[in-house]
Amino acid sequence: MARLAADGHRVVLVFATAGEQGLAAPETGIGYRLGELRMAEARASAQALGCARVEFLGYRDSGLDGTVASGGIVDGGVIVNGGGEPFAVVDVERAAARLADLLREEGASLLTTYDAAGGYGHPDHVQVHRVGARAADLAATSVVLEATVDRDLLLRALRLAALGYSFPPDFDRARFRTAYTPGSAITHRIDVARYCTAKRNSMAAHLTQTTGGESTRTLAALLRLPPAVFRWVLGTEWYRQPGIRPGRPLGDPLAALREH
C-alpha cells in the first residue's frame, strides 16, 4: 500500500470488522470500547501508509473460533448496539455486493484480499478471501492479489528458530503446514524494503495488538527488531494472483494491468 501510494496511486483500505474480539491488555477494554480504539488505530495506521480513504463494513469480529454471538456493529465510524452479524458467517453475496459498490465508486483496478487459507486461518480472514473474490467478480475489478506468505520459507524459518529459541507452550508450529500459500503457487514477490519506515509506523499504530495473552504478541516482537533486521524480515511481500500460471514471481504489483 505504501509503495503504490508513493507512486501516486489512490489507495483505499476497507475493514470488515473493528477487531473488537481480539486479545488486548485488560486495562484496554473489551467489546465496544476495544472496537473504538482499534478503529482509531486503523485510521492512524492507514495514514502512515498514505491511504486516501478508510472504510469499515461494520460486521462483528467473529473471534478466533468464529462463533461470537451478534451484539453490535460499526455504523458510520461509531460502535452501535443491535444487529451485527459475525463476519465469518455473513452471507457472502450480500457482503460482496457492499464491497463491490465501493470498488465501482472508486473505479478500482486492483483489489488485495487474503489467501484461501486466511493467512494463519482466522475465520474472518478466510471470509475476506471469499467476499473479496466475489466482489471483484461483481465489480469487474481487473486484478485480485491475495496477500500471503511463502509457506515453505516460513516453515524453514520456524525450524531454524527452534534451534535456539523456546516457543511458548501454546505455540503449535504444525498448524503452519496448512497456513498461507506454498511457494510454488505464489505469483508475486514484491520488494517493499524502501517503505519499511512507513510499514513500521503503520504497524506501531496498532498499539492494542501488542498486548494481551500470556506470551509475547507477534506484532510486539516484530516492532522490537532492529531496523536492518526488520527490513530483512518484512521487506518482501508475497501475493497470489488467481488465473495466472505461477512461474518466476513478478516484482510489480501492477504487472497484469500494464499488459493491457
* Residue type at position 61: D
> Please, which residues bridge with residue 188 across strands?
239, 250
Tell me how long the chain is.
260
DSSP secondary structure letters along 64-75 = TTT-PPP-EEEE
Distance (Å, rounded) from C-alpha 64 to C-alpha 73? 18
* Residue type at position 78: V
pLDDT tens profile 206-235 = 999 998 876 778 899 899 999 999 999 999
Composition of the chain by helix, strand, coil, percent to 5: 45, 20, 40
Greater confidence (147 vs 215) lies with 147
Please check the confidence at residue 38 and state whether its pLDDT lies above 80. yes
Closest by CA to 133, choosing from 106, 95, 188, 90, is: 95
Closest by CA to 188, choosing from 237, 130, 258, is: 237
Confidence (pLDDT) at 156: 93
> In this structure, are residues 93 and 101 in contact, taking their beta carbons and an 8 Å threshold?
no
Measured in whole angstroms, the distance separating CA 212 from the mean position of its chain's CA atoms is 19
Greater confidence (162 vs 251) lies with 251
The residue-averaged pLDDT of 192-201 equals: 98
Confidence (pLDDT) at 260: 55
> Please, which residues bridge with residue 80 across strands?
73
Decide: pTM greater than 0.75: yes
> In this structure, are residues 132 and 222 in contact, taking their beta carbons and an 8 Å threshold?
no
Kindly tell me the sign of the dihedral angle through the C-alpha atoms of 43, 45, 48, 51.
negative
SS (H, E, C) 119-143: CCCCHHHHHHHHHHHHHHHHHCCCE
